[in-house]
Structure 1
Amino acid sequence: MGESAVTLLPRLSAITPRYDALILDLWGVVHDGVAAYPWAGETLARMKQAGLRLAALSNAPRRVGRVVAHMEAMGIPTRLLDVVHSSGEATFGALSEPVRHGLGTHGVRYCFHIGIPEDGELADEAGLRRVATPERADVVLCTGTIEPGETLEDHHAILQRCLARGLPMVCANPDLRVMHGPGWKLCAGAIATWYQEQGGTVHWFGKPHAPVYRRCLDELGCPPERVLAVGDSFRTDVAGAHAAGLDAVLVAAGLNAERLLPHGDDVIDAGALEALAARHGHRPEYAIARFVW
């Protein structure tokens, strides 16, 4: 994992014989948050036919059961996946054992939630009681925004109340933004980053942090050098893969599509790719236009 130029791939099948398993991002790779990409199912099937073990690792702020149900509702053949893990599942584990995960010396009981109501089930299932105001809480759980178009400024007032209370924040999705069909939605990572910059304490769960990769590698039963990570984010997918000792493929038709595929075709702008890699400080070994076999 050096500083050599990124290798541009026409298809993933060009390099997969070097690996025994893949860790796959979901948003921007397999689906856009609303619909599966037309080629995703065939790519997964061909990978399994080639004898590869497959793990899906998502920064979705929900538990694995809901991640799987979401994929199945889009027609994605989840039976082809050997492992599914999520930042939401990791968050649930931390909320279930708060002292062990450093959320307080005496644990937490009351949770103030920022995000769509159903994602607050992470707290409910961990045995915490959701409260309506930060002033009654021991911890703030941030799973994201409610509607596309929401901005950080929309949340400043409530976050200032959380800061005044000295609440630790649990971030269930380190992403800054996510694809939502043809548009974008602000993610919990953007809110948590601002909170931390203001002096608040944030506990992060999901990519690029090591525990979620360790769990996937343990369940895949493969050494890191034989596992390839596929994702569309320099900040989470590429950085997390490299920290875990994995090679990485960046999918251009995701978060950075406007920069990397400026003509709307499958031709990656190599100059833009190198510029983005330099800006983020993380250079993937490979890049591919789309998640195709």
Structure 2
Amino acid sequence: MTQLISSLAEIADRYDALFCDLWGCLHNGKTPFPEAVSALKGFRAGGSMVALVTNAPRPNATVIAQLDRMGVPRDAWDLVVSSGDAAQSAMLEGAVGRRVFHIGAAKDEDFFTVLPPGTVAPERVTMQEAEGIVCTGLVDDLTETPDDYRAQLLLGKTRGLPLLCANPDIIVDLGDKRLYCAGALAQAYETMGGTALYFGKPHPPIYDLARRQLGLEYPRILCVGDGIATDIQGGMAEGLDTLFITGGIAAAAFGPDAARPDKALLEAWIAGQQIYPTWAMPHLG
């Protein structure tokens, strides 16, 4: 049974580290949430570590620069691990070939250019020439939907190309606007009969990478996030405790006041998902 709590401090002494999601938990894509920043600082002050584990399809250096611009203080976290890191590693190892067709925005260019020393990105070519597809997101996520990519994806599926998905998230909220992510295109591709490869939450590679970077022996880890099918399902699959942030992407399911989720609605929704977080709270704080 999921237990509602009012603050991270209530359970902080049970854990040595957090795997904390970014979008919807620490910020809304534009500005950080002050209460979440304070909660993470307090957790670290107790001697524990904070790993920001995100499905952003960019290398962690790019994510860190974005957090800096947004005003997230560096003393709120210890390390950043991104889906982009795990997916980029797979791409460089040839998971979808050495000639790839890229679906994604200009803002994701760092996925191909900010590389580990001594590595070379695959050649980017047309769909007709490609051995595989690398999807970091929609070209213009402010205006486009997966329907805009149907013909392109059908061509890839017809050619039997594997698709590397650098961000398994389906949707995300930018302020008050809902946007589609790379996961939505990968989902559509699989529906057509194509093959998609995933490296972010809820899939194991990103958790393996985060554990290695923590550098702790047998840490007690809590996974924090607002994505029931990514943050929570992924943490549970790893055998870790989870904290579900109800006021994030699924807030509308729990009543009109995101700060006060209806307990009965929450319990019914969780039962319908068949994914049971250890803890839940409205907002990280």
- TM-score, with structure 1 as normaliser: 0.90
Partner of 1:237: 231
Partner of 2:57: 61
C-alpha RMSD of the superposition: 1.6
Secondary structure of 1:179 counterpart:
strand
Rounded to whole Å, the distance in 2 between the matches of 1:73 and 1:188 is 24
Aligned residue pairs: how many? 279
Q: 1:111 to 1:121 in 2, by over 3 A?
A: farther
Alignment of 1:1-293 (within 5 A): 5-98=1-94, 102-103=95-96, 108-124=97-113, 125=115, 126-131=120-125, 133-145=126-138, 146-222=140-216, 226-260=220-254, 262-292=255-285
Residue 65 of structure 2 aligns to which amino acid in structure 1?
Answer: A
Would the aligned equivalents of 2:59 and 2:110 in 1 still touch at CA under 8 Å? no
Query: Is there any run of 5+ residues in structure 1 with no aligned partner, and where?
Result: none
Residue range with higher mean Cα deviation, 201-210 or 149-158: 149-158
Query: Is there any run of 5+ residues in structure 2 with no aligned partner, and where?
Result: none
Rounded to whole Å, the distance in 1 between the matches of 2:44 and 2:218 is 19
Rounded to whole Å, the distance in 2 between the matches of 1:20 and 1:266 is 27
Residue 139 of structure 1 aligns to which amino acid in structure 2?
Answer: G
Q: Deviation string for 1:239-268 (max 9, x for gaps)? A: 1101111100001111111112x2335211
Would the aligned equivalents of 2:62 and 2:110 in 1 still touch at CA under 8 Å? no
Q: 1:31 to 1:56 in 2, by over 3 A?
A: same
Q: 1:80 to 1:36 in 2, by over 3 A?
A: closer
Q: Deviation string for 1:150-186 (max 9, x for gaps)? A: 2221110111111122111000001110111111110
Q: CA deviation at 1:63?
A: 0.4
Would the aligned equivalents of 1:29 and 1:232 in 2 still touch at CA under 8 Å? yes
Q: Deviation string for 1:197-250 (max 9, x for gaps)? A: 211111111000112112212222446671111000110011110111110000
Would the aligned equivalents of 1:168 and 1:202 in 2 still touch at CA under 8 Å? yes
Secondary structure of 1:32 counterpart:
coil
Rounded to whole Å, the distance in 1 between the matches of 2:219 and 2:75 is 25
Rounded to whole Å, the distance in 2 between the matches of 1:56 and 1:224 is 19
Residue range with higher mean Cα deviation, 176-185 or 221-230: 221-230
Q: CA deviation at 1:275?
A: 2.5
Rounded to whole Å, the distance in 1 between the matches of 2:146 and 2:265 is 28
Rounded to whole Å, the distance in 2 between the matches of 1:236 and 1:265 is 20
Q: CA deviation at 1:269?
A: 1.4
Q: 1:265 to 1:59 in 2, by over 3 A?
A: closer
Rounded to whole Å, the distance in 1 between the matches of 2:54 and 2:143 is 22
Rounded to whole Å, the distance in 1 between the matches of 2:6 and 2:154 is 48
Residue 51 of structure 1 aligns to which amino acid in structure 2?
Answer: G
Secondary structure of 2:128 counterpart:
helix
- TM-score, with structure 2 as normaliser: 0.92
Q: 1:152 to 1:138 in 2, by over 3 A?
A: same
